[in-house]
Amino acid sequence: MNRRSLMGLLNNDNYIDPFKGADYIDPSKNAEKLSSNVDREHAQREAYEQQRYAKQQQTPQRTPTPPQEPRHTPQQALVNRQTPISRTTRTRKSRIPIIIIAIAVLTIIAMNLVGTIVSHGGLDSIADRLDPNTEKYEQLSEQKTINETSGNLYSYGGMALTVTIKNMEVGPTDINGQPTVKVTYGCRNLSRRAIYPNAVADSIVTQNGIELRKAVVTGYNGNLDLASKKIKSGETSEKVSYHVLSDMQTPIAMQVSNFRHKNLVRSAFAFDGSNETLTRIDYSDVPEAPKVDKAAFVEDGRVEELNGTILHFRLDSLEIQQNDEDEPLMVARISWYLENTSTYETFSYHASVNARQGTETLDQDYLYGDDSSLILRAQADVLATSIYAYELDDERTSVKLTIEGDDTVLFEKDFEPSSGTVV
């Protein structure tokens, strides 16, 4: 490429640098640097001419030629200024593959590091440490508070919610034709980041001291429950849940607490005379739940916890029933009650139920929609029933039912599916 072509290329406003300016030097922006390059060339040329003049003085037969200052045409100056640019371009071009490889390696290392942090919950723990509310909210989560209708719930990691129990109303019948109650409440995120409400709040709706199981109603798929969607910081989300009523006379109570059961928001509603409308009442007006007759309760076993809580249980029945696909199930009904507890708890917190045919452990099934009564909770000294159903491999082989606590067998029974008898 000749100088005229080079001049045209460098002075073309439409020229697109393939290296996005990394190697191009704008003379207007680097005047000082370019000036120093020209001065250095002048100094080198003058030193050379002085040396040559001195040699000529030492040779008398030759007529010295007076030194002439080198002339720089605009094109020569431009070419001279561009000379180091071409060398730099070649140097940086040779480094580009190395830089790309280095970036790729660092990216892979960073991705692996982030993946490790995420898999161990590291990002959450880092956010918790950076959140200035972490220590304050943890302290508040240990302070016992009871709020009527609306109040704050606190948890670890700087998480907190304001919960407001807005309304209860008679809902539609569930898929089995049973009456339901619809509960509406709001959750406002007090945290500095988006959270799922169920990371802070635990809700329970009860009648007679026993939790009402979740209802399966047409058109509702649980998309508004506490675990369905994150709430952004400072925003409020409305939640809705449906529950199967045990009757349409007993007042209904709702409690929402943090998982340490220290912060509590509660409200209660009662039916009017027509059993079609629910009206909010004072929580203190909820009648006391009927207590179990401990003297008449003949237990099959018990679990005594270190905190003083005692689970008493008995097996009421074993029988054959059919599931929705007409497959045979063995159904166990277990009555139980708890002593020395201040919170709602369930049988499965303290004991497990298993069923085997030969060496095979049977799969558990459910009789009543998506939620089984095995997860239902109850107050202390209130008699409750849990139902466990198991899919039979066949109706000829006997089944062994065991109730265990801390890997210790507390109770066992053999059941003959063919005759429906308990051995």
- Residue 125: inside a domain: no
Residues 205, 181 share a domain? yes
The answer as to whether 152 is a domain residue is yes
Strand order in the sheet with 150-154: 150-154, 160-171, 180-189, 236-244
Q: Are residues 343 and 393 in the same domain?
A: yes
Q: Are residues 149 and 277 in the same domain?
A: yes
pLDDT value for 407: 82
265 shares its domain with 309: no
Determine contact, residues 336/301, Cβ cutoff 8 Å: no
Question: What is the pTM for the complete model shown?
Answer: 0.68
- Domain membership flag for residue 106: yes
Which pLDDT value is given to residue 94?
Answer: 60
275 located within any domain: yes
Residue 27 is classified by DSSP as G
- Could you list the mean pLDDT of each consecutive 10-residue stretch along the chain, which spans 423 residues? 44 46 44 46 54 52 49 46 48 65 73 54 55 90 97 95 96 91 95 93 96 87 79 94 93 96 97 87 96 97 95 96 85 96 94 94 76 80 94 92 93 92 82
155 and 39 within one domain: no
Residue 154 and residue 105 share a domain: no
Do residues 167 and 259 share a domain? yes
| Domain region containing 42 | 19-57+71-119
Give the closest residue to 236 by CA, choosing from 131, 162, 183, 182. Answer: 162
| Residue 111: inside a domain | yes
Q: How many domains does the chain have?
A: 3
Q: Give yes or no: residues 202 and 231 share one domain.
A: yes
Give the model's pLDDT for residue 133.
87
**Together in a domain, 236 and 357:** no
Q: Are residues 405 and 305 in the same domain?
A: yes
What pLDDT is recorded for position 410?
95
Based on the domain organization, do 144 and 265 belong to the same domain? yes
Last residue of a domain, one of 285, 320, 340: 285
Whole-number Å distance between alpha carbons of 409 and 358: 17
